[in-house]
Amino acid sequence: MNTPLLGLDWGSTRLRAYRFDEAGGVVEMRALPWGSRQLPAGGFAEAFAQAIEGWPRAPVIACGMVGSRGGWREAPYLDTPCRLDALAGALAAVDAPDGRTVHIVPGLRDPSVPDVMRGEETQVAGMLAQAPTLAGEVRLLMPGTHSKWVRVRDGAVSGFTTVMTGELFALLREHSVLGKGLPDGGDDHATFARGVAAAQASGSAGGLSRLFSTRALMLEGVLAPASVADFLSGLLVGDELRMALAAGWASPGVPVQVVGEDALCARYLLAAPAFGLTLQRTSGAPAASGLWQVAAAAGLLHGHSHA
């Protein structure tokens, strides 16, 4: 089977490699632990060689932190509002030792905040390719270490906001007086919901004003040590949704499309009803789809139209 394209979704903590068929389907996927912050001895070049070992020679496209200032080669940001088809005209290129050229998708910058993203822009392009009726106007939530609330209008990313919910959770859980040294716990939905309710009840003061209640509840015996992580998760996810409502990133009755890892998205879906928000899970592999779409628009697919 002909392989017209190889794609890399290359973030700060992991690398996913895709081998595509002629219809843009993924026929093979590999996951490696080589993010931009953790690379093998040979750096980006060695990680790349491992990712595509044994695969046919084909054009290569990559997105994510591989194009950051500390990446393999920096791909300068495009400013919003930015039509997603503009990504194809701004690819950066880096030559791998085996003679292949890796084309890197640029990130986006919202100059009004300012704010930046890398990798999510390709996911947005892929999601809209899978659901083109949403391109007129849609709100997206992309949970992760750094959650992104993205606004799309007329096929362009008109703006976005980053909330560091995932990183704050990790810092509080591993390094703060609230969570350090405590057991991991399980998937306690009731305690998670209690944290969400605490965020909702915080009102204009916000979830930061309720963080220390985590310790007080544990000292009082109301919150078991193994449940602290779930309470903190609910408090932080709930506060993110409270902020989204207050800032107008989301509105009751207007669905928000959620793009991301299943387990994390499930937590946001659990928390949303408490704020009257409607979140809809987006299926498929938007990063892979986005890489294919950008490659096609850039004319990288041999024997394919350059739409």
Whether 291 is covered by a domain: the verdict is: yes
The reply to whether 235 and 277 lie within a common domain is: yes
Write down the pLDDT at residue 185: 72
128 and 23 within one domain: yes
pLDDT for the residue numbered 2: 86
3-state helix, strand, coil in the chain (%, to 5): 40, 20, 40
| Residue 304: inside a domain | no
49 and 119 belong to one structural domain:
yes
pTM for this prediction: 0.93
Are 200 and 114 in the same domain?
Answer: no
Same domain as 289, residue 273: no
Interatomic CA distance for residues 294 and 87, integer angstroms? 7
pLDDT at residue number 1? 64
Domain that holds residue 54: 6-132+285-297
Q: Does 151 reside within a domain?
A: no
- Assigned domain for 144 exists: no
Phi then psi for residue 155, to 5 deg, are 75, 10
Number of domains present in the structure of the chain: 2
One domain for residues 26 and 74? yes
| 23, 64: one domain | yes
For the CA atoms of the chain, what is the radius of gyration?
21
Amino acid 306: pLDDT: 35
CA–CA dist 68, 175 (Å, integer): 27
Q: Are residues 192 and 128 in the same domain?
A: no
Residue 118 lies in a domain: yes
Are 272 and 289 part of one and the same domain? no
CATH code of the domain in which 223 resides = 3.30.420.310
The pLDDT of residue 46 is 97
The answer to whether position 232 is within a domain reads: yes
In order of 147, 216, 228, 284, the CA distances from 172 in angstroms are 17, 15, 10, 32
Chunk the chain into consecutive blocks of 10 residues (it has 307) and report each block's average pLDDT, rounded to whole numbers. 92 96 96 96 97 96 97 97 96 95 98 97 96 94 96 97 97 95 86 98 95 96 95 98 96 95 95 97 91 97 51
Q: Is residue 125 part of a domain?
A: yes
Which CATH number fits the domain that encloses residue 20?
3.30.420.300
Whether residue 121 sits in one domain with residue 26: yes
Answer yes or no: do 171 and 77 share one domain: no
Pair 11, 72 in one domain: yes
Q: How far, in Å, are 83, 92, 124, 153, 184 from residue 134 at the CA level? A: 14, 28, 11, 9, 39
Sign of CA dihedral 263, 237, 14, 39: negative
**Strand bridging mode 92-95 / 101-104:** antiparallel
